[in-house]
Amino acid sequence: MDHYGIVAGLGREQRRGLLQRSNLKGLLHLAGHLAALGATGTFIALEAPGWPLVLPLHGILLIFLFCLQHEAVHKTPFRGAGLNAAAAWGAGLVRLLPPVWFQHFHMDHHRYTHDPARDPELARPLPRSKAGLAWHISGGPYWIGQTRTLLVNAAGRNRDAFVPPPARAAVAREARWFLGFYLAAAGASVFFGSALLWWLWLLPALLGEPFLRTYLLAEHTGCRHVPNMLENTRTTLTTPLVRFIAWNMPFHVEHHAYPAVPFHKLPAFHEVLRGHLAVTANGYSAATRATTAAVLRDAA
């Protein structure tokens, strides 16, 4: 049975329960994530003893707001449209990732998951060497690529196949708003003679990105190039803490099999799919070993 058959076989009440979005659950989860960021950020800002050691943790918490943005472009973490839009914009600012552009990119990823010819995530093949993979995981290609994309979009020159022509004006506008925000933040930092922008955002983001790169590799790398989400996507069985920081997205087969299920219902949907999952990993160490082996095997 493929994922279509499982979803089609859900009862009406079961389906209704799985699709129930909640402002309360979304806001409570966001409050917890932001409270953790506030704690690490305060520790750094006050230069408490050992504060440099907290920078990577702060960076992980900061950069994994991507998982909130990912959910927000699906319009699932909150019931309210305004909350979803605000979350997509706020989280996107952290990683140079404008939400309108990303939504078009991501929807094509869902339409053509792990299809080498059509999935935009596979438009740039992974490097096939240890050095190339290390550079990819460092986040260098991501930051360079997103800076280039932001500038191209702001210039009104977007020609990405996944962005329909009527949406290109909105993509250009949001890129300009993003650039305006970054210029204003830099100007304020210079005006006030403050280095907090560097210590609380830029450096932690650079330190946190490799953890997100490793996490993202686990989602599909090494899986089969077939339409069945039970086979082309990996669920990673991990700790409650990791699931919290990643907004339950380690349940990634579950998300791809039924993208309308909000993050807080994915554990329940996991119980439905548990016996049908073809690709799983017991933790991110195991997932990383599998993805690394797959990348280097393909290079042979």
In degrees and rounded to multiples of 5, residue 280 shows phi and psi of -135, 165
| 153-174: b (≥16 Cβ within 10 Å) or e | bbeeebebebbeeebbeebbeb
pLDDT in single tens digits along all 300 residues of the chain: 899 999 999 999 999 999 999 999 999 999 999 999 999 999 999 999 999 999 999 999 999 999 999 999 999 999 999 999 999 999 999 999 999 999 999 999 999 999 999 999 999 989 989 999 999 999 999 999 999 999 999 999 999 999 999 999 999 999 999 999 999 999 999 999 999 999 999 999 999 999 999 999 999 999 999 999 999 999 999 999 999 999 999 999 999 999 999 999 999 999 999 999 999 999 999 999 999 999 998 665
What the block records as the tokens of 247 is 């907004």
Which pLDDT score, from 0 to 100, does residue 111 have? 97
DSSP 124: S
From residue 139, alpha-carbon distances to 201, 213, 284 in Å are 15, 7, 18
Give the residue numbers spanning the domain of 284. 3-299
CA angle 270–271–273, rounded 5-degree value: 60
pTM above 0.85, yes or no: yes
Which pLDDT score, from 0 to 100, does residue 270 have? 98
* Nearest of 286, 197, 192, 193 to residue 235 by alpha carbon: 286
Q: Using CA atoms, how far apart are residues 163 and 152, in angstroms rounded to an integer?
A: 13
Which pLDDT score, from 0 to 100, does residue 128 have? 87
Which pLDDT score, from 0 to 100, does residue 300 have? 56
From residue 126, alpha-carbon distances to 16, 36, 83, 122, 269 in Å are 39, 33, 35, 8, 31
User: How many separate domains does the chain show?
Assistant: 1
SS3 44: helix
Which pLDDT score, from 0 to 100, does residue 19 have? 98
Which pLDDT score, from 0 to 100, does residue 143 have? 98
